[in-house]
Amino acid sequence: MSTRINRIGAVFVAALLGSGCGPSTDESAVPTAESDRESVPWVLSARVEPAPNSVWTLTGTVRARHEIPLSFRIGGEIQARLVDAGVRVEAGDILFRLDPRDVTQQRLATEATVASARAEHENAERERDRLGDLLVKRLASEQDHDRAVTAARAAEQRLVAAEATLEQARNAILYADLVAPATGVILDVDGQVGQVVSPSQAVARLAEDGPREIEVQVPEARRVDLPTEATARLANGAGPANGPASAQVTLREIAGSADPLSRTWRARYRLPELPSEPGLGTTVTLTFETARGVSGPIARVPLGAILERGEGPLIWRIAGGRVEPEPVELIGIVGELAEIRTDLAPGTPVVALGAHLLLPGQAVRVLER
């Protein structure tokens, strides 16, 4: 557009040189004589256009909907590492293995405890039954029988506790193998052979198969009016070969507090299914459109249409072959366009170039852009 304006501007300047650069001093009717008409200056006109909403972008990355930190339920020394970062795994695959000697000995000890508790329980039951028979024959006191009943009940509960401990020991042997909880891709691996880890210490991270999302960091100034819809464009052609160049995404969640270092809010946008799934970590640009926060109609005109003579900005409205000043409020400058607040209707012709040469009511000849 700038090239075209420059080309038309050159024609416009040539016309001005041929017709005289000074403003016309005749402010009466539009001249009809050919000699008078040749003295009327040419002006380059443009149309008032409605200004679009504010458009801005954020850069983010493709992430899995569920990213699972993987850790052992028990502590111990890593004996084997069976996975690397970037490897695809299936649910149930063994990823790490701890040294099983400690948990094996723990199981043997609890099995012995269970055997001892079962023997005590059986003996207590026999003693209870024996004293019960003697009580019927009045050869034992009720007090002795009650103590036997209590001892049998206590032995039974100790057996239950020992069996529960044995079940935990058996599970601990299973927990010595860290298996993939779902199908997906291993993002990174922290655990190494020989490393002693504690329960819940993350040794790897799994990106589960399923929906993909775009994670962006939202600046504090954009937090309140963050749109729920955006247009996502994958960087460097990382999308499908024959698929769409962009996709509409929807806000799923935004963090409840800002990052203490960057002072930004983490937001996740749902990425729809694509013919070819983009790789995790792919750079994505999100384009947002936000409604303007200023009141009144907002329009755009060429920057050259704005005239400032110390009384506020104005533009020249073209009507009936003459120009009339229209005060405006300058909102901002976007490239070679000025955004203004005005009551002029979209499509109204205005002077786009040479505004400083004109006077109110001056006759002009119009060259459309």
Q: Is residue 36 part of a domain?
A: yes
Q: Looking at the DSSP assignment, which residues form a beta bridge with residue 365?
A: 42
Residue 13: pLDDT over 70: no
The residue out of 264, 290, 316 marking a domain boundary is 290
Q: Is residue 319 part of a domain?
A: yes
Its domain, for residue 286, covers 57-66+209-290
27 vs 146, which has greater pLDDT? 146
Q: Is residue 188 part of a domain?
A: no
Q: Is residue 88 part of a domain?
A: no
CA dist., res. 204 & res. 69, Å (int) = 6
If you ran DSSP here, which 8-state letter would residue 305 be given?
A: G
Lowest mean pLDDT among 24-28, 172-176, 281-285: 24-28
Average pLDDT over residues 65-77: 95
Average pLDDT over residues 341-354: 89
Q: Which two tokens stand for residue 320?
A: 């009936």
Number of separate domains in the chain: 3
The residue out of 290, 320, 348 marking a domain boundary is 290
Specify the pLDDT at position 341.
86
Average pLDDT over residues 229-234: 90
The residue out of 248, 265, 290 marking a domain boundary is 290
Burial 172-199 (b: 16+ CB within 10 A, else e): beebbebbbeeebbbbebebeeeeebee
Average pLDDT, the chain: 84
How many CB atoms lie under 10 A from the CB of residue 64?
A: 19
Give the model confidence (pLDDT) of 264-308 as tens digits. Answer: 999 999 998 887 778 888 899 999 877 665 555 688 899 999 998
8 vs 306, which has greater pLDDT? 306
Q: Is residue 308 part of a domain?
A: yes
Q: What percent of the chain has pLDDT over 70?
A: 84
Measured in degrees and rounded to the nearest 5, phi and psi for residue 317 equal: -90, 135
Q: Is residue 71 part of a domain?
A: no
Give the three-state DSSP class for 352: strand
Specify the pLDDT at position 222.
83
Report CA-CA distances (Å) from 225 to 52, 152, 317: 17, 71, 36
Specify the pLDDT at position 36.
56
Q: Are residues 256 and 230 in the same domain?
A: yes
Report CA-CA distances (Å) from 140 to 130, 132, 316: 10, 8, 122
Specify the pLDDT at position 3.
45
CA dist., res. 207 & res. 278, Å (int) = 13
Helix axes 101-136, 142-175, angle to 10 degrees: 160
Specify the pLDDT at position 117.
95
Residue 244: pLDDT band (50, 70, 90) is low
Residue 55: pLDDT band (50, 70, 90) is confident
- Indicate which CATH number applies to the domain containing 330: 2.40.420.20
Q: Is residue 170 part of a domain?
A: yes
137 vs 112, which has greater pLDDT? 112
Residue 5: pLDDT band (50, 70, 90) is very low
- Indicate which CATH number applies to the domain containing 165: 1.10.287
Q: Is residue 191 part of a domain?
A: no
Specify the pLDDT at position 285.
92
Q: Are residues 142 and 161 in the same domain?
A: yes
Q: Are residues 249 and 278 in the same domain?
A: yes
Q: Are residues 104 and 61 in the same domain?
A: no
Residue 223: pLDDT band (50, 70, 90) is confident
Q: Residue 204 is which amino acid? A: A
